[in-house]
Structure 1
Amino acid sequence: MSKPLSTVLATACVLALPALAHGRPVALTAQLKNYGGDGAYLAAYLTDAKGTYVRTLWVAGGKAKYYKHLSDWSRLSAGDAKRLNGVTGASVGAGRTLKVTADLADALLDAGYEIRIDAAAEDMRDSPSEVRIPLTKANAGKPQAGKQYIQSATFQLQ
């Protein structure tokens, strides 16, 4: 291949890649029930169409020794050495709201991906996959009920 042609192809690829990876902020909101206990630990994460862990969106709760109680997330993300980089904050009190934003590629929408949230509170039952929200344009803004600690969870495309 000639040098000018390879340069043109390389430049075209570099210019095309950002368009393929274009993403947008997704705002995730989880409203907790008044469950009568200590602050909840929550792990919000993304899975693909096969239920395979893709990445952690947020972990609420600062003590790593309790992360094992977020059992689905802990098991699925165990091989991800960077699962906590820049995505942790305080636990969320009963009746309070967690609001976080994550950048997700547009290609993930309507492609079988899910946002999942595991929940646990001290001296109470753990709730793996407390909420599972299919990442579809149709689900944007639609509240999904939780099983034990979360009243509702929604995501908004921004």
Structure 2
Amino acid sequence: MPKPLMTIVGTACALALPTLAQGRPLTLTAQLKNYGGDGAYLAAYLTDAKGTYVRTLWVAGGKAKYYKHLSDWNRLSAGDGKRLDGVTGASVGAGRTLKVTADLANALIDGGYEIRLDAAAEDMRDSPSEVRIPLSTANAGKPLAGKQYIQSVTFQLK
């Protein structure tokens, strides 16, 4: 390849890479049902098209001893030593709303990835993968019902 052409290709790639790596803010909103129990622990996380854990978006509930009840997330993320870095908060009471924001790489959106939420409440049944939402522009803003504790979940992309 001639040197001027290599320079042009190299410059084009250098300019394109930041665009591919840039992220988009995703706001996830989970409205809980009035299930009549204590505050729920929730884990919101991302998986790829094969169901392999990618990263934790948020964990609601501060006591690590209860994370075993968020069983799908706990099992899938066990090898991620940074799974809780800056992504934890208080549990969410019955009838309340959890709203979190995370930056996601553009390549993840419409790329076969899925947002999953596990839920558990003290002295009540655990609900692994209570909600599974394909991370696509078509699903943005559309509410999806949960199985046990979550009334609905929506996400917005900015």
- Cα 1:119/1:16, change in 2 over 3 Å: same
Amino acid in the other structure paired with 1:133:
I
Which AA in structure 1 matches 2:83? R
C-alpha separation in 2, matches of 1:67 and 1:145: 23
In 1: Cα distance, 2:20 partner to 2:106 partner: 9
| TM-score between the two structures when normalised by the length of structure 2 | 0.92
Aligned CA-pair RMSD: 2.0
- The 2-side partners of 1:112 and 1:11 are apart by 30
Letter in 1 for 2:143: P
- Tell whether 2:77 aligns with 1:96: no
Which structure 2 residues correspond to residues 1-40 of structure 1 after superposition, within 5 A?
13-40=13-40
Say which SS state the counterpart of residue 29 (structure 2) adopts: strand
Q: Describe the superposition over 1:102-155 as per-residue Cα deviations: whole angstroms up to 9, x where unpaired.
A: 001111111110000000000000000000000011100000000000000000
Task: Please say if 1:72 is aligned against 2:72.
Answer: yes
Name the % identity. 86
CA positional deviation for 1:16: 3.1
Q: How far did residue 60 of structure 1 move?
A: 0.1
**What secondary structure, in the 3-state scheme, does the structure 1 residue paired with 2:34 have?**
coil
Kindly tell me the number of residue pairs found equivalent between the two proteins: 158
User: How far is 1:8 from its partner?
Assistant: 8.3
Map 1:4-153; keep pairs closer than 5 Å: 13-153=13-153
In 2: Cα distance, 1:154 partner to 1:98 partner? 11
- Quote how far apart the aligned CAs of 1:7 are: 8.9
Per the TM alignment, residue 35 of structure 1 is displaced from its structure 2 partner at its CA by 0.1
1:12 offset after TM fit, Å? 5.7
| Per-residue deviation, 1:6 | 9.2
Quote how far apart the aligned CAs of 1:10 are. Answer: 7.0
